[in-house]
Copies of this chain bind each other. A is one copy, B any other.
Amino acid sequence: MTSPDGENMYFGGDYNPEQWPEDVWLEDVRLMREAKVNLATVGVFSWGRLEPAEGMHDFGWLDRVMDLLHDNDIQVNLATPTASPPPWFGLAHPDAMPVRADGTRLTHGSRDTYCVNVPAYRAASRRIATALAERYGAHPATVMWHVHNEYGTTCYCDHCAAAFRDWLRDRHKSLDALNDAWSTAFWSQHYSAWEQIMPPRVTQYRSNPAHLLDYRRFCSDALLAHYREQRDILRAHGPQPVTTNYVMAGWTPLDHWKWSAEVDLVGIDHYTDQPGDDGLAQVALASDLARSWARGKPWLLMEQGVAAMYTPERTLALEPGEHVRRSLDYVARGAAGVLHFQWRASQGGAEQWCQGMVPHAGPDSRVFREITELGRTLSSLAPAEPEAAEVAILWDDEAAWALQNPALPTAGLDFRASVEQAHRVLWQRGIATDFVHPSHDISRYRAVLMPSLYLISDEAVANLTAYVEGGGTLVVSYFSGIADPDTRVRLGGYPGALRDLLGVRVEELHPLTAPVTLSDGTIGTFWSETVHLTGATATATYPGGGPAITRHQAGAGTAWYISTRLDASGLGDVLAQAGV
């Protein structure tokens, strides 16, 4: 992938010309040039215009858009429109509409009304992707392919049930293995035939956590199969890089490590919802995640809000200059460019109140002037080479999903929040940080943080052990290393997977109802544990004298354990002690 002139940043956003009469297009390209926009994401929601009836294509308008953009030196990130099937699709294929866990069949009338496991939808997706690839694969404006949009839907239909069973056969090989992995002896859930296995639909009482977890894995893989199918079609018609845009929400519908191995560049949609430093911390976290997932490939900010933050309650404006500053922060952390949703604010439709680079008020506006300023600034910058990180935080979507099991010792356990806190403490101390999968090579980092990573494989444990014994510093926080990949508790004392490495054995887990003050003055909240030392030294103890924070020399390295929730300052102190 090369940016437009081979060395500058990508700059632009989603461009939906089909919402506007053609005379507006002329103003669009004039304003894009004024703002130094060099990349437009086109066609994300254009299925209805491109294929007005099943199998009938109308590319005339898009031909004109592509040519117009090309004539104005604006390159195109061309989207396949499969995230929003037109109404005719739902009518022709009612079984392709998604079904909720309670059996409710959804209807078209929004976006994302499809199930990726339905053959008719897959065929329709291939057909429109092929048609676009054939027509625009060689168009000089096409510099990138954008498959679909914000993958992340979940469905519980019968097609999903069948696909889930195939996926389970592949993962567990035999029903016996599945029954064992899922602990189906409890509550008489033994499966005696594959056909008995359903998606985790609504049931009378609590669901089986292994069942829930495998369904999360399956959903990510099923979406990925849909992506790969289109990617392969597009690759067959041109040399452009192919990608999609991850939603950077707490919800994590995708296994990002797996996905990132399949995209040519990592693309993220990132909407902050906090002002000031809190927002900058969000920018740093999203950028560090994207760069880490990319593992050396480029990454791109494919959508951000236009000088605005969308909170659940209201849309807040960024301060003057803040949008430029944040955008440059993404770039400093390695983004190949910054794009927005969307170029021109819509007059109608469900997102008419999302901000546009050209707002409702038109180009005579602070917003457009800031966009122009940003475009000019970026046009003078070369891509940044981010500082090499010496510290890493473990990231694993599977562990995050496992911790969303509703029946844990306490509500409020949240992998994402633990990661955010750890990342922020490092960010505030100016420490460049990567994210790594627990099984990846981590030997080059002087320290690795493991924040509430509930689930871990034996392979990852071996990796971490080798790392510490080789001289690394590992800082583990509470409720890590508890479960195996099938979310079964590792027995004999917590954290089953890490007892030897940490030199501790935890006998009991005690969610807290009130804060406790540790021996070193630090405050612990939310959680505590009964920790026995089996080699480690306590660096801070609970009021009763039991170890709260421990340090263990293991080989040439050190493994720390924090058995309670610390605030940022407390965590910072431990990291300082650990030499991080």
B108→A203 contact, CB < 8 A: yes
A207→B350 contact, CB < 8 A: yes
Contact status of A408 and B353, CB under 8 A, knowing A203-B106, A316-B511: yes
In angstroms, Cα B407 to Cα A314, docked, is 9
Q: Report the stretch among A186-194, A372-380, A392-400, A556-564 that lies at the interface.
A: A186-194
A206→B81 contact, CB < 8 A: no
Q: How far is the CB of A497 from chain B (nearest CB, A)?
A: 13
> A502-515 interface mask toward B, CB cutoff 8 Å, 1 = contact, 0 = none?
00011111110100
Within 8 A of B (CB), among A343-395: 345-353, 359-362, 365-367
B365→A204 contact, CB < 8 A: no
Q: Which residues of B contact A493 (CB under 8 A)?
A: 360-362
Determine whether A438 belongs to the interface, using a CB cutoff of 8 Å to chain B.
no
Which residue of chain B has its CB nearest to the CB of A43? B188
Besides A314-B511, A315-B511, 4 new A-B residue pairs in contact (Cβ under 8 A), listed by A number = A84-B189, A90-B196, A104-B202, A109-B200
> A151-168 interface mask toward B, CB cutoff 8 Å, 1 = contact, 0 = none?
001000000000000000
Which residue of chain B has its CB nearest to the CB of A352? B489
Tell me how many chains of this kind the complex includes: 3
In angstroms, Cα B88 to Cα A196, docked, is 6
Q: Which residues of B contact A111 (CB under 8 A)?
A: 187-188, 204-205
Q: How far is the CB of A421 from chain B (nearest CB, A)?
A: 20
Determine which of B81, B113, B187 lies in contact with A45 in the assembled complex, contact meaning CB atoms within 8 Å. Answer: B187
A204→B86 contact, CB < 8 A: no
Q: Report the stretch among A46-54, A235-243, A279-287, A328-336 that lies at the interface.
A: A46-54
Determine whether A516 belongs to the interface, using a CB cutoff of 8 Å to chain B.
no
Determine which of B81, B106, B210 lies in contact with A202 in the assembled complex, contact meaning CB atoms within 8 Å. Answer: B106
Contact status of A202 and B107, CB under 8 A, knowing A45-B188, A53-B192: yes
Determine whether A185 belongs to the interface, using a CB cutoff of 8 Å to chain B.
yes
A348→B488 contact, CB < 8 A: yes
- Offer 27 A-B interface pairs, CB within 8 angstroms, sorted by A: A45-B186, A49-B188, A52-B192, A84-B189, A86-B189, A88-B193, A103-B105, A106-B202, A106-B204, A107-B202, A110-B203, A110-B205, A111-B205, A183-B348, A186-B349, A186-B352, A189-B349, A207-B350, A209-B350, A313-B410, A314-B411, A352-B407, A359-B507, A361-B494, A361-B507, A365-B508, A366-B530
In angstroms, Cα B351 to Cα A207, docked, is 10
Instruction: List residues of A whose CB falls within 8 A of some B CB.
Output: 16, 18-19, 45-49, 52-53, 81, 84-88, 90-91, 98, 102-113, 153, 182-193, 195-198, 200-211, 312-317, 345-353, 359-362, 365-367, 407-412, 486-489, 491-494, 505-511, 513, 530
Determine which of B153, B196, B510 lies in contact with A204 in the assembled complex, contact meaning CB atoms within 8 Å. Answer: B153
Contact status of A208 and B109, CB under 8 A, knowing A87-B189, A347-B488: yes
Q: Which residues of B contact A350 (CB under 8 A)?
A: 186-187, 205-209, 407
Which residue of chain B has its CB nearest to the CB of A275? B513
Q: How far is the CB of A101 from chain B (nearest CB, A)?
A: 9
A107→B203 contact, CB < 8 A: yes
Q: How far is the CB of A360 from chain B (nearest CB, A)?
A: 5
In angstroms, Cα B507 to Cα A183, docked, is 60
Which residue of chain B has its CB nearest to the CB of A410? B314
